Structure formats: structure tokens, C-alpha cells
Amino acid sequence: MTDLEKKMQQDVIDGVAEKLVKEGSFATRDQLHTDLMDAMKSVTITPDLSANGELTPKQEAEGKAAWYRQCLGKGLPWEAKAWTSATSGAAAELIPTVVANSLVLKLDNTPLRKSVTQYPYSPKGTILAESTLPLAYRMLAGKPVPEATPTLLPIEYSTSGIMAWMGIDNDLIRNATIRTIPYIEDALVRAIARRETYEWTLGIHGGATFEMTGMVGRATAVDMVATHDTLAEVTKADLLKLFWSLDGMYADNAVLIAPNSFLAQIALLNDPLVAGGMNYFDIGNMKFMGGISVIRMPESCFDTPADGKVAAYFGDPKAYYLFSDGPIQIATTDVGKTAMTMDQTYVAAKVYTDGNLIQPLSMYALKYNTI
């Protein structure tokens, strides 16, 4: 790249960055976010899980390493014969897709994505949500019977970008090996997973943010016993109220979703040696109420205990829908991240998601209660 070309590239980046400062953080401004990614050395790749079956594990690993070396490390376009290894040229056109697949497969193994329902790839649209528990009606004389009250409510979704960064030594990315790529992928996936997990509970969609709609605004509330508005005041009575609130039709797939502090508190309530007592939380097996699965959440996914704040969720997580768009952007960048050093390359990954709890009555939120 000539000095003139470098100056032109920097002018583009500076122009976008200046607009960014004036109009707000690009993490929540999708169009500016896209403009900024376009100004960087970015590559857009689309997942297609069926592509992996056409390559051996060795070809996949070496091909991904070559792609990172060439496209991110050296900033060169990907070409079928551009990389050299024992499998050079073998289905090389599939490698960019395999790079995207690898990130998607690792993301899909996170607690959130394993628990919820993943809607087919779709950037935006409308889905009918069940505003009440569904009920079938008996037909009379072979004719359909109309509902007395409609049970479906339209919910709109629109995917927006989540961007994660990680720094890596210049030499490692320019000479990436099959051992380098998992290090990069795992760092990016962990960062995206933490963001998605936070929005699963506390996300606020619309307005100044493009977050998913968190369960905090959708789950059905069940209050603790009056005057129980701190963590130390949680009792067995509160747990039983939460447990018996859920409709039996959703109990088979129910889980407890709570932060460590809440789980530690309810473990103190265990009384298996007392007549009629039980283990409310089995730490060794991570089970609630004798056998119900538990999802441990970061403390940041819950508000500080206070009147009306959620302490834990209990219900069927499959009623939460995760909407995602197919393409993934991967780029190297020297903007948007402040901790830059001269000998490091910053790799950024961007995915598009949205989410909403489609059936509020399938998930209950235990709330602290002053009165």
C-alpha cells in the first residue's frame, strides 16, 4: 500500500470516527457501526453448517489458520490457491464459511443459546406471541369454534450488531497456526456470550439501545413474602411461592436462573435432616428443589436487591426466542478500542441478534417485596 493509499484510508477512518463522536456510541448506532466496519479491514462471512462436512478436521483447522493469516494478519483477499499447506487448494472456497461456522458453533454451546429457542436466520420481522396460556377448543358438528378472547399478540424483532474485540500479538496473527485460532475464537465468543447473557435478563430494546428484550420486562411477577426485600430475608416460603406459580404444562423443561449470591443464600435453607425438610439447592449437582436444573448467572445480570427487583427466574427458557442474522463480520481495527499498542493487532467480531420472551406465563420472576 502506497503512502497516498494509507493516507486515504486513514482519512476515511477519521471521518467516520468524527461523525461517531458527534452522534453517539457506535455500539448502539447500527448504521454508524456498519460505516465504521466498512472503513476498517473487514470481511463479511456467512455461516452454513453443512459446509464443514466437505472438509476433514485437518483441512478445516489448517484452512482457518491460513484465512486468519492472509485476511486479517496480512490484509490480503482470500483466493482459492493463495494459502499453502498439506491441503492447499482443497475446497478452499469453503474456508471463509467454515471460519464463520466455527464461531457460531462455539456460541451455540453457551448456556444462553443452549437453553433458548433459536429462530431461523432472519434480520427482522413479526412473530405471534402467546399473551395467555393456549387452549384448544372442541369443534361442534365439524365446524371450527371461534375464541372468546384472542390469545396471540404480534411482537416485532430487529437484529442489531454486537461487537467484541481482542488483542493479539502482530506476529501471532500474521503467522497464525492451528493452535492460534481457538485462542482468538474463544476470546471473541466469551465476550459476545457475556453480552447476550446480560441482555437475556436486563436488556431494553428500542430507544437509545438496540439490545434484546430482557426477561425483566416480560416474565410474570411473583412477589416474595411481605417485608422480604433483601437477600438475607429470602426464605423457604418465597421459594415455594415461586415453585408453585409455574403452570404444570411448563414444569417439565423448567430451570432456575439465578446469580451466585441468590444460590448461596438458598443453599443455607437446606434442612434434609429435619422431618419434612429437603434440599432447596444441591450445590454438588447444581439442582433446585430436588432435581431441577440451574443456570448460574453473573451478578451483573440482576439488579441490586430492592423492592420490586428480580431475585431469580423459574420457568421454561425455550419460550425465549433468540433471533439472529446470518452474516458475521470479522475485522482488524485501530479504532473503537482504547487500549492499543504498537505491536498488537486488534481483531473484532460482529454478530447480529435480537431476543424476546414469547410466552410470559412460561417464565416467572421472583421479586423482592417491601410491603
pLDDT at residue 32, as a whole number: 40
pLDDT at residue 341, as a whole number: 55
Look up the pTM and report it: 0.82
Helix, strand, or coil here: 76? Answer: coil
- String of b and e for 361-370 (b: at least 16 CB within 10 Å)? bbbbbbbbbe
Which tens digit of pLDDT belongs to each residue from 56-94? 888 889 889 999 988 888 888 887 555 554 445 556 788
- For the chain, the C-alpha Rg in angstroms (whole number) is 25
Helix or strand run (H / E) with residue 11? helix 3-23
Helix or strand run (H / E) with residue 199? helix 180-202
Top mean pLDDT of 35-49, 275-289, 349-363 is at: 349-363
Q: Which domains does the chain have, with CATH numbers?
A: 3-121+158-212+328-355 (no CATH), 216-321+359-367 (3.30.2320)
Quote the percentage of the chain above a pLDDT of 70.
81
Closest CA to 328 of 39, 145, 102: 102
Residue with cell string 390469545:
151
Q: CA 46 to CA 351: how far, in whole Å?
A: 11
Q: Are 55 and 97 a contacting pair, CB within 8 Å?
A: no
Mean pLDDT for the chain overall: 84
Q: Are 214 and 204 a contacting pair, CB within 8 Å?
A: yes
Check residues 55 and 304 and name the one with the higher pLDDT. Answer: 304
Query: Residue 140: phi, psi to the nearest 5?
Result: -110, 125
Give the cell for residue 223.
Answer: 412477589
pLDDT at residue 29, as a whole number: 36
Which tens digit of pLDDT belongs to each residue from 292-326? 999 999 999 999 999 999 999 999 999 999 999 88
Chain-centroid distance of CA 203 in Å reads: 11
